[in-house]
Structure 1
Amino acid sequence: MQNIVSPPNRTSHYGLARGRGQLDPQIPASRLVTRLKLLRNTLRPTPHVQLAVKGMNLFAKLEYVNPVGSIKDRAAYWILTRAAERGEICEQTTVIESSSGNFAAALAAFTRLVGLRFIPVIDPNISGAYESFLRRICPTVVKVEDRDDTGGFLKSRLQKVKELCATIPNAYWTNQYGNLDAMEAHYELTATEICADFDSLDYVFIGVSTAGTIAGVSRRLKEHYPNVRVIAVDAEGSAIFGGAPRKRHIPGVGSSIVPPLLSHARIDDIVLISER
């Protein structure tokens, strides 16, 4: 399966345009941009470690060594920085996002460091450690409890984001599901590191949820290694590749919607994994 890139669209198919903060003419936009760009120094290249598997050279990229602990740190940094550069957020902005954990943690840490407000929208599947972390550093945490029509919580979280954006002044939805900056983060950062470390690649396996990682990485790797095969790894019970959505238990892999960023990914095959 190979998806061809569609024209850029900065509004998701849920009708949720990203929030736009109004810049205060008395506060130079460059001040927020400068603070955000300083965070770039924390995003060091993550290591590739060879795994002991007979008959092949198999490597794992250790994204947990990112500063807040996951690959989502890259997208959080990139989205905030690009939004500030375009004047879409300012020091009065309240950032809002739906997340099962990793992306919310990254946004919470980075917004706190640069002085922005952040409201994460979470659900009962979030790990206790992440929820505790968010409640310690975010003045407001919104937790949805009602399941949606798929048996999950994602659509309920997105509806809550829509309500918050409609009622909070200067709200900005980072939209990890459809924001092209999320894809660009992995094209410019994650995939660039892979290309620097390997002369050739035959296969790359990438877990899929919001599809930002696989969209950005697949496009860069296909340019650098024309014969590489990109394998999407999804969970059983996920709706991303056309399956019927059902209740899942592991956050961060799979989705109960088809994320808009998936249309930008260049995928050769799909592997479904069981949670059991």
Structure 2
Amino acid sequence: MINDSVLDTIGRTPVVRLNRIRVDNGSEILLKLESRNPAGSVKDRTALSMVLEAERDGRLKPGGTIIESSSGNTGKGLALIGAARGYRVILVTDPKAPASMVEYVSAFGAELEIVKEPDETGYQRPRLNRVHELLAATPGAFWPNQYDNPANPKIHAEQTAYEILDDVGQFDALVAAVGTGGHISGLAETLKKKLPDMVTVGVDAKGSRAFGFPYETWLMRGLGIAWKPENLQTELVDRVHLVADHEGIAASRLLARREGLLVGESAGAAVFGALHHAHDNPGSRIVAVAPDDGGNYLGESYDDEWLRAHGLGDAVAALATTELLVAAAKDPAWPSMTLEQVSRLVTSG
């Protein structure tokens, strides 16, 4: 097959069965590998959807400028798309952005604005403030606004969900990480119509405020947020599983060593959540989404020295075998909860 553009290669990512990291009760975990997109993540779909929508309604003109806040995959996707379609791309990020991300987007010609002063919840809000300053100074610039842009969940409702249905058919549960809320909401919107009994499990970082819990810091990338994103349709989420840093990171490391799958930390969190769901639902067929590639994290969560420096060395080492990880998923730090249970906990403080 000859594609007219690299952007035509976005989508149609494979689904892989986990063979060695599993619960031995007749359950099955299937992992959709979004790292097979050209810029390495599920955000390629999101970025292209937002850009195409803006082109159609005139918010983004030929040769225009795209300005977005990102410390990772959305920035990579936008940098690739900008190069392929002739747009100037300005990415607002912070000193914690991985060097691999900075080098990647720079290779495509994207410009970087570094926000150096965090607020009480980190860098996300200060980065957005800088985006607004740049928009005011750049007439005609387009802000994708990945947290609130309906083109984000739309692409997953119209494309990604149908890929899963084509490849998998019937299954019992969807497990997906919560970041912008885009892929979990879009997938659940379509899949629940086609599979009414399917359970949606939202995996989030312990400390994220997406579902209203008190804010705390966390280390995993690719999930967690300091506020509730507009794209997150909580009514489509049946259960919420808060995953601790050591649980998600240990799972991602084992996916590389036991399954040959080099994936990011949010994929590890999703698999850990899937294992927990499998323990409670023998014989179930579970689809989990692996949002990105693990190459972004080789100098961080895949590095033993980095783990020790961040106080995670012992906790991750304690889950360093398949047997230990699977056992930990049966009794995790924070078991999954229904939305009603989440509401009661949030209300009670």
TM more than 0.5: yes
Q: Please give the TM-score of this superposition, normalised by the length of structure 2.
A: 0.66
Counterpart of 1:210?
Answer: 180
Paired amino acid for 1:111: G
Query: More displaced, 141-150 or 175-184?
Result: 141-150
| Residue number among 109, 112, 126 corresponding to 1:138 in the alignment | 109
| Residue number among 175, 178, 190 corresponding to 2:160 in the alignment | 190
Counterpart of 1:227?
Answer: 197
Instruction: Give the structure with the higher percent helix.
Output: 2
The number of equivalent residue pairs is: 239
Give how far 1:44 is off: 3.8
Give how far 1:100 is off: 2.0
CA–CA distance in structure 2, aligned partners of residues 82 and 97 of structure 1: 16
Give how far 1:265 is off: 5.7
Give how far 1:38 is off: 4.7
CA–CA distance in structure 2, aligned partners of residues 125 and 258 of structure 1: 22
| Residue number among 97, 106, 123 corresponding to 1:153 in the alignment | 123
Counterpart of 2:310?
Answer: none
Larger Rg, first or second structure (1 or 2): 2
Change (3 A) 1:234 1:171: same
Structure 2 residue matching 1:172: 3-state secondary structure: coil
Please state if 1:93 is matched with 2:86. Answer: no
Give how far 1:124 is off: 2.2
Q: Taking every aligned residue pair, what percent have the same amino acid on both sides?
A: 34
Question: Superposition pairs for residues 1-276 of structure 1, below 5 Å?
Answer: 38=5, 40-52=7-19, 53=22, 54=24, 55-150=26-121, 152-263=122-233, 266-276=236-246
Structure 1 residue matching 2:214: 3-state secondary structure: coil
Q: Report the RMSD for the aligned CA atoms in angstroms.
A: 1.5
Give how far 1:251 is off: 2.2
Give how far 1:252 is off: 1.3
Give how far 1:116 is off: 0.6
Gap regions ≥5 residues in structure 2: 247-349
CA–CA distance in structure 2, aligned partners of residues 252 and 265 of structure 1: 22
Q: Please give the TM-score of this superposition, normalised by the length of structure 1.
A: 0.83
Contact residue 100 and residue 251 of structure 1 kept, 8 A: no
Paired amino acid for 1:109: L
Change (3 A) 1:230 1:194: same
Structure 2 residue matching 1:238: 3-state secondary structure: coil
Give how far 1:255 is off: 0.6
Gap regions ≥5 residues in structure 1: 1-36
CA–CA distance in structure 2, aligned partners of residues 139 and 130 of structure 1: 11
Contact residue 215 and residue 265 of structure 1 kept, 8 A: no
Contact residue 208 and residue 224 of structure 2 kept, 8 A: yes
- Runs of 4 or more off by more than 4 Å in structure 1? 37-40
Contact residue 39 and residue 77 of structure 1 kept, 8 A: no
Contact residue 95 and residue 171 of structure 1 kept, 8 A: yes
CA–CA distance in structure 2, aligned partners of residues 265 and 83 of structure 1: 27
Give how far 1:199 is off: 2.4
Give how far 1:195 is off: 1.1
